[in-house]
Structure 1
Amino acid sequence: MNQARLVGDSMEFARLSNESHTLFKRHGVNPIKAMLAPMAQIPLFLTFFLTLRRMANYPVESLKEGGFSWVVDLSIPDPFLVLPVVTALSLWVTLELSFRSGLNPNQTPIFKYGARIVPLVTLAFTYDFPAAILMYWCTNNALSILQVAALKQPAVRTFLNIPQIKVNPARLPVNQKSFKKHFKETMENAKINKMMEERKTIDEITFKKAGIGPLKKTFKEDPTR
């Protein structure tokens, strides 16, 4: 599909796109359904986040002495920034393990590099969060790491009746392209898609004019006379 898009072969691109949709439908695969479980966790996370922030802002008395070691008061930010760093690192580990769990080795690295930026952005926004929020976040990330690591074990997958991950590297070519090259190809693909859409719109307008407009003279002499 990428090759057809690069050369501007809209017919081949449409044929391959239709084949992929047919394949998904035959095997009951819906990419949108894969996002339902992560999206369902967002309201729960926001509820904990907003609740803990309000508890820290009041503050709830038990938070003032409910910490440990250098973070005794959980209603204020970590003075040594240890919790923000640990939160960012645990988030990075979670994302890395998730990306390596049965993924196609030919997967474009743009998503991987994008996911690696998320922990840095998280660190920039969470350094002044109350320690109570970061304690919850660290705990949540630690449990996520344990969950992902456990679900990679064949014995666990067999016990839970989850199909084993099967990836045949001999049949799936490993993508060796750099992030810069992938980004350049992505921008070129977007440009080609835009040109194809514009060309399609122009063809539709031209076809409509040819059907309802006056007869356009394309000959020097009338062949019917």
Structure 2
Amino acid sequence: MDFQRNILLIGLMFVSFMLYINWNETTKPQSQGQGAIQQVQHDSDVPISLNASQLLIQNSVSDNLITINSDVLTLTIDTRGGDVIRAELEEYNAKFNSRDKFVLLKHDSEHFFVAQSGLIGLQGVDTLNGRAKFNTTATDFKLAEDKDELRVPLTLTKNGITYTKIFILKRGSYAVDVDYTIHNKTDKPASIQMYAQLKQNLLDDGGSLTMPTYHGGAYSTDDTKYKKYSFDDMQDKNLNLTTVKDGWVAMMQHYFVAAWIPHSGGETYLYTRTNNGQGFIGIRYPITIIASGTEISIHSTLWVGPKLQNQMEETALNLNLTVDYGWLWFIASPLHWLLATIHGLVNNWGIAIILLTFIVRGAMYPLTKAQYTSMAKMRMLQPKLTEMRERIGDDRQRMSQEMMSLYKKEKVNPLGGCFPLILQMPIFIALYWALMESVELRHTPFILWIQDLSAPDPYYVLPLMMGISMFFIQKMSPSTVTDPIQQKIMTFMPVLFTVFFLWFPAGLVLYWFVSNIVTLIQQTLIYRTLEKKGLHSQK
């Protein structure tokens, strides 16, 4: 197989890959995964039925709101229920060059996305009559410059029981601890059950053919490290699972995620619901009994922020998997680590991408050399193969036997040009995902006109340069293709790639362009070496 056909194969694999990932993002996940995941059947008791439908479909907001500020988060809390109805990320702009901060959680008419939590059960504060209204000492709370932690308590006393809901924000962290302290001052035991859920409009999965991204739910259990559960899945079937530890539920979008992480010490129930155009994904703690005259605390964590892998990994097991690298995560994750390490040295993500490309292509140089060497040897055998076809005619069995005999005699592997290419493709695809999922590239400048590596090149310079470099790769590669249709496809391939890359993020196009430049350099060096050995290219 010569290089022209290799490029055709790359093109077909690339287009197939883009179609596949776009299809994969817009179709439902398959089964719930392997392992002993229990299906939880809901009982007909009041606490669970409240959680399922009647209680938490309220969208109205009270007039009693408080604001909590850390160095990276600004949260708006409704004291009725203590729900987080707005979350601004202080270090991320809404749009490129915008002064407005990115808002992940919001209570808008067009996009409703909130994080709710509360207490149900016989002595729960959330009932059919409405959500509990907490009291606070102020309406604005801010992390002091000389402090690393901010604790904001919301309190309520009802029927002899004091409930305290505490929001704990730490400096530089997007993990917000949401804890309950319940002090039972009555002469009878109290029974409560905590829930925490994310509620959002039922939206499209999001993304496009050139930028396939996921917008929907996800969860983790003891037996399933990470699984998406889209809005379509929620509408088709309610999720009812149980996990003992290390579980969480989330709603994701490109670069950002909100997630509830329970710390129950026992079985936690994961569920989804839909109602009136909204989807819920949440967790329920086991029922807790508080003895008379005693106090207990229930702990949970709300992650609300960007997909920062190191922080998420420290917050909850497998939460970093929401940075979705697909099935090649075991390659993409080390590549992202290497990219971040290089950035720590050069302090420019564009230059880091360039250096990473050189490192990756350098590491694959032995494969590239083997590929071109095999192609050169195959070209040398073309005259003999042509003579063989003319001599043997249509006897395919004899032709196959004599070809294999010739390959063995000349020590040529007819698939030698294909195997290195096939081995390289997973690395290319993994690097594609690593770059696409990196929130660090969002609104990040490179040089000159490229001021956002996560957005397309505004002047299409990089895609055009990529197409030109691909054209020169073709020109430098001798071809034995004689079929007119294949020749036309090969001629059109750089144009097709250029059109695709017009809408790709500049960081991805930069990687592909630099990769082509490295290919041209390697191709030139390898051909010169082969010519010295007598393996001349037939231009």
TM-score, length-normalised on structure 2? 0.26
Separation in structure 1 between the aligned mates of residue 419 and residue 397 of structure 2, nearest angstrom: 28
Q: SS at the partner of 2:455?
A: coil
CA RMSD for the aligned pairs? 3.2
Secondary structure in 2 matching 1:76: coil
Counterpart-to-counterpart distance in 2, 1:142 and 1:82:
15
**Structure that is richer in strand per residue:** 2
Deviation (angstroms), 1:2: 8.0
Write the distance in 2 (CA, Å) between the matches of 1:152 and 1:5.
28
Match of 1:130 in 2: 505
Distance in 1 between the 2:425 and 2:404 partners? 29
Query: Could you say which residue in structure 1 is the equivalent of 2:534?
Result: 164
2:409 maps to 26
Q: Deviations over 1:45-83 (max 9, x none)?
A: 11111111112xxx32x5523311111111110111111
Residues 3 and 139 (structure 1), Cα distance of their counterparts in 2 relative to 1, 3 Å cut: closer
1:86 is aligned, of 462, 465, 481, to 465
- Report what 2:335 is aligned to: none
Give the Cα–Cα distance (whole angstroms) in 1 for the partners of residues 416 and 386 of structure 2: 24
Distance in 2 (CA, whole Å) between partners of 1:85 and 1:46 is 21
What does 1:51-200 correspond to in 2, within 5 Å? 51-55=434-438, 59-60=439-440, 63-97=442-476, 99-100=477-478, 107-110=480-483, 111-154=486-529, 163-166=533-536
1:4 Cα deviation from its structure 2 partner: 10
Residues 10, 65 of structure 1: alpha-carbon distance in 2 compared, 3 angstrom cutoff: closer
Residue 37 of structure 1 deviates from its aligned partner by 1.0
Greater relative contact order: 1 or 2 (C-alpha under 8 angstroms, separation 6 or more)? Answer: 1
Give the match's secondary structure for 2:459.
Answer: coil
Higher Rg: 2
Q: Which has the higher helix share?
A: 1
Gaps of 5+ in 1: 175-225
1:44 aligned residue: 427
Amino acid in structure 2 at the alignment position of 1:109: T
Shift of 1:18: 2.7
CA distance in 1, matches of 2:398, 2:421: 32
Q: Which amino acid aligns with 2:535?
A: I
| Cα 1:40/1:131, change in 2 over 3 Å | same
Which deviations, in whole Å up to 9, do the C-alpha atoms of 1:151-203 show, x marking residues without a partner?
Answer: 2225x876xxxx33246x8xxxx9xxxxxxxxxxxxxxxxxxxxxxxxxxxxx
TM-superposed CA distance for 1:117, in Å, is 2.0
C-alpha contact (below 8 Å) 1:4/1:10 kept by paired residues: no
The one-letter amino acid of 2:425's match is I
Alpha-carbon distance in structure 1 between the residues aligned to 2:536 and 2:389:
30
SS in 2 for 1:33: coil
Amino acid at match of 2:497: T
SS at match of 2:456: coil
Aligned mates of 2:435, 2:499 — CA distance in 1: 20
Quote the Cα distance in structure 2 between the aligned partners of 1:2 and 1:149: 28
Query: Is the Cα contact below 8 Å between 2:455 and 2:506 reproduced in 1?
Result: yes
**Secondary structure at 2:497 match in 1:** helix
* Aligned 8 A contact 2:463 2:498 in 1: yes
Which residue of structure 2 lines up, in the alignment, with residue 186 of structure 1?
none
Q: Aligned AA for 1:29?
A: V
Task: Give the Cα separation in 2 of the matches to 1:29 and 1:151.
Answer: 17
* 1:15 corresponding residue in structure 2: 398
Is contact 1:77–1:129 with CA below 8 Å preserved after alignment?
yes
1:89 to partner: Cα distance = 1.1
Change (3 A) 1:108 1:5: same
Distance in 1 (alpha carbons) for counterparts of 2:389 and 2:411: 26
The CA deviation at 1:115 is: 2.6
Residues in 1 aligned to 2:531 and 2:451: alpha-carbon distance in whole angstroms: 40
Maintained 8 Å contact 1:63/1:132: no
Shift, 1:42, TM fit: 0.6
Structure 1 residue 44: Cα displacement: 0.9
CA distance in structure 2 between the aligned counterparts of 1:145 and 1:113, rounded to whole angstroms: 22
Per-residue Cα deviation, 1:115-168 (whole angstroms, up to 9, x for no partner)? 3222111112111100000111111111111111122225x876xxxx33246x
Q: 1:153 to 1:29 in 2, by over 3 A?
A: closer
AA partner of residue 470 (structure 2): L
